[in-house]
Structure 1
Amino acid sequence: MYENPTAHDAPPRSADRAGGSQAPFIVAEGAISAGGWPLLVILTIVYVVSFIDRGAISLVVGPIKQDLGVSDLQVSWLLGLSFMLLYSVLGIPAGYLVDNWRRKRLLGGAMLLWSGVQILCGLSQTYLLLFLTRIGLGVGEAVLPPAAASMIRDAFPPERRGLAFGIYNIGPLLGTGLALVLGGYLLKFSAAGHLAGIPLLGLLKPWQFVLVVPGLIGIPLALMLWLVREPTRRDAVSADKVSYGDALRYAWAHKSVYLPLWCAICLYGIAIGSQMAWLPEIIARTMGYSRPVIGQTLGAVGLIASPAGLLIWGSIADRLRKRGMVDAPVRVAIVSTAIAALVTAAFPWIDSAQLGIPAYAAQTFFFAVFAVAGGATMANLTPGNMMGKLTAIYYLVTNLFGLALGPTVVALVARVLFAGAGALGHAFVACYVVSVGLAIVLLMRVSRSIRARAAEAR
C-alpha cells in the first residue's frame, strides 16, 4: 500500500511538485533510519545476486556458441540487448510503483520472478529460448534499481550517502566477480562428470548448469527481503504523489545536471558492459587460459579490488561532502576514472598473468566509484516522491544506450576496424577508453553545474 506521510510532514507547494521552483538539492539532514544498515546489506546482496544471474553467461560464451551454432554478434545480443530491452523499459512502471507502494514487497516478488526465469534460462535448448529467457530475466530485475535507490535515499542522510551508495554499488562488480568464480567452479565441477546420476541436474550440459545454479540461490534471498524494515520516506515532499510529467518537468528544470549526468552514465555503461561481456572470452582467445581458470582469477581479483575501491572512494566522497564540497562524488569519480582509463589503455601490451592480474585489480579499484557518482548525485538532487520515477528513467536511458549496446558496439568495432585473433581485445580497449574519456568530460560539466546551483541556493 501507499505509505501515508508522517504527522510532521507538510504538504509541498504545487510549484514544487512540478519541479519549477524547488531548490536543486534536497537537504534532508538527520540520522540514519532504524534498520538502515541491515537494509543496505540485504539490498547489496540482492544486487550481487542479480549480477551473478546476468553475468554468469559471459564465462560460457564459447560452449554456447559451439552447442547452438551462433556467431559473436548473436552472442552479443544475448549478453546485452536481450536482457536490457525490457529491463530498461519496464523500469518506468516499476518506478511509479516504487514511489507509491511498499518497496520491499515489490522487490521480493520481483526477485522470485527473476530467479525462476534464470533457472529456465539454464534449461534452454535453443538460441531463441535462451534469448527469450534472457528477456524475462530483465523483466524481473527491472524493479531493483528504483526500489533500492529509493530505500537507500530514505534510509541515509546526504552526508552518509556516498558510503551507502558505495557499499550498494559493490553489487555489480562483486556480482561480476562471483559470477566468474562461481561459474568457473561450476563449469569445472560439471565438466568433470560429477553431476552424472543426479536427477535433473545430471541431464544438463556444463554451461546449462552454470546458469541454473544462480537462479536457485535467489529464491531464499527473495524471502529474506520481506523481513527487512522498510525506511520511512524521508522528506516532506515524499508524502505527495506526483506524476511522471511532474518528475520530467523537475528534471528539465535542472537539466544542466541531469542531462550530462545521464549521458556520462550511458558511456560508463558501454565501458563496463563490454568488459563484463567480453573480457573472459578475450583472455581465452588471446592468452590461451582455460575458462574455469579465467573465471576464478578475475573473480577473485574483483572480490577484493571492487569493494576496496567503492568503500575507500565512497568514504572520501563523504568526508569531502562534510567539508562543504557539494559535488564531492563527481569530483572523486573524475579523478579515479581517469586513472582507470589509463590502466585499460595498457591492456594490449599485457601478455602474462603476472602483469594482467595487478592491472585488472588497479582498473577495477579505480573505476568502481563511477556508479557512486551517479547514485549519490541523483539521491541528493531528487525529491523522495520522484526518486523511483527518475531512477527508472535514468536506468532506461543508461541501460538501453549503455549496457545494452556495449557488447554489440565492441563486436561491430572488432569486425569493421580490426582483424586477427586480437581484434576483439583491441576493439574492447578502444571502446572503453573513448567512452570513459567522453564520460569524464561530461562529469566535469556536472560538477560545474552542481557548484553553480548550490551557490544560487545559499
Structure 2
Amino acid sequence: MCDSSTAESRVDRRSWYMLGILVLVYIMGSVDRAVPSVVVEPLKREFDLSDAQIGVLTGFAYSIPYALAALPGGWLLDRLDRRRFLAFTTVVWSVLTMAGAAVQNYVALLLARMGVGASEAPASPGSLSLISDLFPRERRGTAVSLYYAGTAVGQFITFMVGGWLLMHFGWRSLFLIAGVPGLVLAALLVFTCKEPERGRFDPPSAEGPRRAVSYAVAARWILRSRPLLHSIWGNMLSTGVQFSVMVWTVSFLVRIHGLTPERAAIWVGLGIGLMQTLGSLLAGPVTDRFSRGESARLALVPATFTVLAALTGVAMCLAPTLTAALVAMAVFAVLVGGVVGPGYATLVSFTEPHMRGSVLSIAKLFSILIGNGVLSFMTGKLSDMIGTPDSIRWALAATLLFHLWAAFHFWRASRAAQRIAANNSA
C-alpha cells in the first residue's frame, strides 16, 4: 500500500474536479430534499395540515420510497458505470422537484416527494463509492467531509434563497427553481468525468480481485463486522437528528420567538447552513490529521462531536431569547459539521471496495427510513401530543437527545476496530 506522500501525489486534478461535481450534485439534492422545510407554515395554511401531516410529508413520503429504491440502486451501483447511473437519477429527482410547483393538493405533493425520495436513493452511496476510488485512505476524511459539506451548503442555499423567494414570489417558486441546476450537473457528470477503477487505493485482497456481491453477502458482512454495524447505527441516529432539526427549526423560530417564516428561513440558512459548512470544511483536515488513516481513531471524531452537538442543540431549544437561540444554533451547526463527513467516512473505511455500493446502500436505507423518517415524524407527533403553544420546543429538544445514543455507537465502533487491529498485529 502506498505511503501517505505517494498516495497524496496520486490525487490528480481530475479527482478533485469530479469531487467538485459530486459535491454540487449533492448540494442540489440537499436543496431539493429540504425545500418543504422552508415552506412548512405556508403549506399548513394552504392545505390545512397538522404537524403530524407535515412530518409525513418531510419524513415518510421521502424515506419509504427511498428505502424501497435503495437496495436495487446499490445493486446497480456495484455493476454499472456509477457516474452515468447517478446522472440519470439526478435528472429524475430534479424534474420531480419542479413538479411540486404545480400541485393543487396535499396528496399530489406527497406523490411528487415520494418520487424525489426514490430517485435520490443511489446518490449518496454512489458518490461515496466513487470518492473511495478517487482518494487514498489518508485523504478520504477530507474528501468525504467536503462532500457532506454539500448538505450544509444546500441548507444555506435553500433557506437563504428560499426565504427571499418566499417573500417575493410564494412557495411554489421554490420547487420550480430548485430543480433546474440538477439537469445541468447531470450533463457535466456524464460528459466531463471518467469512471475510476474500483478499489484502486485499497490494499489488494489475498484472494485476488473480487466481484460484486449479493445483498445477502453484504448483510452478513455487516452483522459480522462490529465496527461497521455500530457505525451504521451511529450514522442512522445522527443524520436523523440533523434532518429533524432542519425540518422543524423554522417552525421553532416562528412559534417560540415570533419570527415570520421568511425571516426564520433566512436565519436558519445563516445559522445552520453557513456555520455547518464551516464546520465541515474544518472537520476534514482535522479528522485526517487525528486519525492518520486508522479507522479506530476516525470513529472517535463523530463520537465526540455528537455529544457536544446534543448539548448545544438542547441549549438552543431552551434558550429564553432569540439571540441566545441563534448563538446556540450556530455553535450546534459547527459541531454537526464534525459529525456528518467523519461519520460517513467510517462506513467507507470499514467496508471492502467490492461491496461498497451494497453496504452503503443498506446503511443509507436505515439512515433515511428510520433516522430521517421516524425521527422527523416523531418530532411532529410529539409536538401534537404535547399540544401547548411551545410544544415544538420540547419535541425538538427530546429529538436532539438521540445524538447521545449516536455517540455511544461511534464509540463502540472505535473500540471494536481497536480490538481487531490488536488481534491482527498479534
In the superposition, the TM-score normalised over structure 1's length comes to 0.86
Does 343-352 or 423-432 show the bigger shift? 343-352
Counterpart of 2:259, as a letter, is Y
1:304 has 2:271 as partner: no
Aligned to 1:193: none
Counterpart of 1:104, as a letter, is R
User: Which residue, out of 359, 364, 382, partners 2:333?
Assistant: 364
**SS of 1:230's equivalent?**
coil
Aligned to 2:284: 314
Alpha-carbon separation, structure 2, partners of 1:164 and 1:214 = 25
Aligned to 2:310: 341
Aligned to 1:240: 211
Deviations 1:291-312 (A, max 9, x none): 1111112212334311221122
User: Which residue, out of 356, 359, 376, partners 1:407?
Assistant: 376
User: Which residue, out of 320, 323, 346, partners 1:354?
Assistant: 323
Unaligned runs of 5+ in 1: 1-27, 191-205
Counterpart of 2:265, as a letter, is G
Counterpart of 1:446, as a letter, is A
Alpha-carbon separation, structure 1, partners of 2:183 and 2:236 = 31
Aligned to 2:300: 331
Cα deviation for residue 189 of structure 1 reads 1.8
Does 420-429 or 303-312 show the bigger shift? 303-312
1:229 has 2:200 as partner: no
Deviations 1:9-51 (A, max 9, x none): xxxxxxxxxxxxxxxxxxx967325611111111111111111
Q: Give yes or no for contact 2:51–2:383 (8 Å, CA) kept in 1.
A: no
Aligned to 1:201: none
Counterpart of 1:217, as a letter, is P
Cα deviation for residue 375 of structure 1 reads 1.7
Counterpart of 1:79, as a letter, is T
In the superposition, the TM-score normalised over structure 2's length comes to 0.92
Deviations 1:187-242 (A, max 9, x none): 1121xxxxxxxxxxxxxxx1111211101222112211112232221245665232
Alpha-carbon separation, structure 2, partners of 1:355 and 1:388 = 43
1:98 has 2:77 as partner: yes
Deviations 1:113-142 (A, max 9, x none): 111111111211111110011000112111
Alpha-carbon separation, structure 1, partners of 2:45 and 2:387 = 21
Does 380-389 or 216-225 show the bigger shift? 216-225
1:276 has 2:246 as partner: yes
Q: Give yes or no for contact 1:113–1:140 (8 Å, CA) kept in 2.
A: yes
User: Which residue, out of 343, 354, 368, partners 1:374?
Assistant: 343
User: Which residue, out of 199, 202, 223, partners 1:252?
Assistant: 223
- Aligned length, in residue pairs: 412
Alpha-carbon separation, structure 1, partners of 2:323 and 2:13 = 46
Does 228-237 or 46-55 show the bigger shift? 228-237
User: Which residue, out of 399, 420, 439, partners 2:406?
Assistant: 439
Aligned to 1:421: 389
Cα deviation for residue 355 of structure 1 reads 2.0
Cα deviation for residue 52 of structure 1 reads 0.6
Identity %: 27
Does 419-428 or 340-349 show the bigger shift? 340-349
Q: Give yes or no for contact 1:174–1:302 (8 Å, CA) kept in 2.
A: no
User: Which residue, out of 415, 419, 423, partners 1:456?
Assistant: 423
Cα deviation for residue 321 of structure 1 reads 2.3
Q: Give yes or no for contact 1:340–1:366 (8 Å, CA) kept in 2.
A: yes
Alpha-carbon separation, structure 1, partners of 2:64 and 2:12 = 35
1:215 has 2:179 as partner: yes
Alpha-carbon separation, structure 2, partners of 1:120 and 1:363 = 34
C-alpha RMSD over aligned residues:
1.8
User: Which residue, out of 127, 147, 150, partners 2:129?
Assistant: 150
List aligned pairs for 1:144-183, cutoff 5 A: 144-183=123-162
Q: Give yes or no for contact 1:33–1:156 (8 Å, CA) kept in 2.
A: no
Alpha-carbon separation, structure 2, partners of 1:140 and 1:443 = 29
Aligned to 1:83: 62
Unaligned runs of 5+ in 2: 1-5
Q: Give yes or no for contact 1:34–1:231 (8 Å, CA) kept in 2.
A: no
Alpha-carbon separation, structure 1, partners of 2:343 and 2:306 = 13
**SS of 1:400's equivalent?**
helix
List aligned pairs for 1:15-26, cutoff 5 A: none
Q: Give yes or no for contact 1:153–1:161 (8 Å, CA) kept in 2.
A: yes
Counterpart of 2:383, as a letter, is A
Q: Give yes or no for contact 1:262–1:394 (8 Å, CA) kept in 2.
A: yes
Cα deviation for residue 101 of structure 1 reads 0.9
Deviations 1:235-285 (A, max 9, x none): 45665232222222222221x112222222221133112111111011111
Deviations 1:148-187 (A, max 9, x none): 0100011111111111111011111221221111111111
Alpha-carbon separation, structure 2, partners of 1:302 and 1:431 = 17
Alpha-carbon separation, structure 2, partners of 1:100 and 1:252 = 23
Deviations 1:362-397 (A, max 9, x none): 000012222223321111121111000001100111
